[in-house]
Structure 1
């Protein structure tokens, strides 16, 4: 039961993050993109940039500070490597971003969060 609730909240968070990105001028290219290495929550494009976005939703704003770490980012980075060529077909720059969400707070967008 807890897993189903968490899954539902995660999907709602991803929807909110996608809507927020669109308001900022991004075009959503994909959601919940599955790869052999894992899942990418959102793929978005603005100008010459393709952003692979990891979304983290927490019930409390204070918990956002611990929602993402190097291990989680490395897993998303592996998923990005598996599909980046599918999205960046015209020499676009690619990056891995993170959007952190909690009730009652503005989205926190961490640009280029993964730099190995």
Structure 2
């Protein structure tokens, strides 16, 4: 079993890869690892008039990604996003929660609009 530090390091590498993937898709990364009293947001990205609060999940096996995100985690990200949205989004912007699922040897799965608020 991996230690907490090893899992944390892998998660950070996953977040770095996710940021590069989003940049290649035309997104600008506004912030990484934003901590709020309600939780943490892995990435905040903008493309045009859309601001995405992105939850990144990294797993060693692609099969494990199917169970990496659930409604509880999405609600935590949404609560954290609500706490800081005013810093990153303008009134006319679309704000959404996205999920990026990553595993070695597989293309990232970008779940846009996993939760719209």
Q: TM-score, normalised by structure 1?
A: 0.96
Shift, 1:115, TM fit: 4.5
Matching residue of 1:72: 73
Matching residue of 2:101: 100
Matching residue of 1:3: 4
Matching residue of 1:32: 33
- Take 1:90 and 1:71, find their aligned partners in 2: how far apart are those partners? 27
Matching residue of 2:42: 41
Size of the aligned set, in residue pairs, is: 116
Segments of 5+ residues of structure 2 without an aligned counterpart are none
RMSD, matched Cα: 1.2
Q: TM-score, normalised by structure 2?
A: 0.95
Shift, 1:90, TM fit: 4.7
- Take 2:98 and 2:116, find their aligned partners in 1: how far apart are those partners? 11
| Aligned: 1:12 with 2:20 | no
Alignment of 1:77-92 (within 5 A): 77-92=78-93
Structure 1 residue ranges (4+ consecutive) displaced by more than 4 angstroms after TM superposition: none
Segments of 5+ residues of structure 1 without an aligned counterpart are none
- Take 1:24 and 1:95, find their aligned partners in 2: how far apart are those partners? 17
